[in-house]
Each structure stands twice: as C-alpha cells, then as structure tokens.
Amino acid sequence: MSLAESMQVTLRLPTRTLFEGSVQRLFATAQNGAFGMLPNHTDFVTALVPSVLILTSTDGTETFFGVDEGMLMKTGHQVDIAIRRGIQGKDLETLNETIQAAFIEVDEEERVARSALSRLEAGIVRRFGDLRKPTV
C-alpha cells in the first residue's frame, strides 16, 4: 500500500448515501472510545456508537454528522461507514438542535408503527383463536 494524502470515505444510511468524498482526517467514536484516523492508518473494523462524526476534507473544511450506531471499515485508502441513522450539520452548535428534531420525529414515527404492528398481531392471534373453535 502506498502513502496517500487522502482517503475516500463513504457514509451510508439504509436507504441512501449521506456522504461520499475525499478526506484528510476522520474523527469518530467507537464502543471503546474516540479515535482519529489519517489516510495511512492501519486497516480495521469497529462498531460506532451514537456520537458526532467529523470529516476534514482535503481543503481543510470540516463536515459534521450526528450518527447513530453503525460500523466503520477501513481497507487501504477506502473507509466505508454504515449507520442506522445520521444527519449532516453545518456546525456543532446547530447540529445538536437538528439531531434532536430529526431523531425525536423518527422515534415518534417508530412508536406509532410499533403500536400499529401490535394491533395487527393481536388481530391475527384472535382470528387464529376463532379458527380453533368448533363450529356447531
């Protein structure tokens, strides 16, 4: 593997790609603590925890992401990050507000969906119970 000035980072959500580009530095938080990564860092895989992911582009600008749990895999000069939920912010100050609004909205939608699923399951169980009753 040759020495490189940058690494290609792809940040994926289950439904789309949130970020794809060339970066000089990456800062993330894993289950065992925060870490930084440069292009010539050793290859590895780690589980990410809900935290702030900071990517520094080749021109020096920083991009901030609020991420939920996920996986990070570095192979050569390619870094692939798969996360459950994530949102991009302009800076750290506004990122917190954006995360709160977006994740709370998603949590409410998940609660409503779980409630509907529970009602469907209860209806199916009731109907199976009716099938077992003998007809007279």
* Tens-digit pLDDT profile for residues 57-99: 989 999 999 888 899 999 999 999 999 888 888 777 777 767 7
Residue 25, domain CATH:
2.60.15.10
Domain count, the chain: 1
The residues, any chain, with a CB within 8 Å of residue 47's CB and separated by 6 or more, are 30, 31, 69, 70, 71, 72
Residue 80 lies inside a defined structural domain of this protein = yes
DSSP string, 24-62: EEEEEEETTEEEEE-TTPPPEEEEE-SEEEEEEETTS-E
Top mean-pLDDT range of 22-26, 39-43, 65-69, 87-91: 22-26
What average pLDDT does range 120-134 have in this prediction? 79
Task: Specify the amino acid at residue 81.
Answer: I
Residue 48 lies inside a defined structural domain of this protein = yes
Task: Specify the amino acid at residue 35.
Answer: F
Task: Specify the amino acid at residue 28.
Answer: A
Write out the residue range of the structural domain in which residue 51 sits: 7-92
Q: What pTM does this model have?
A: 0.71
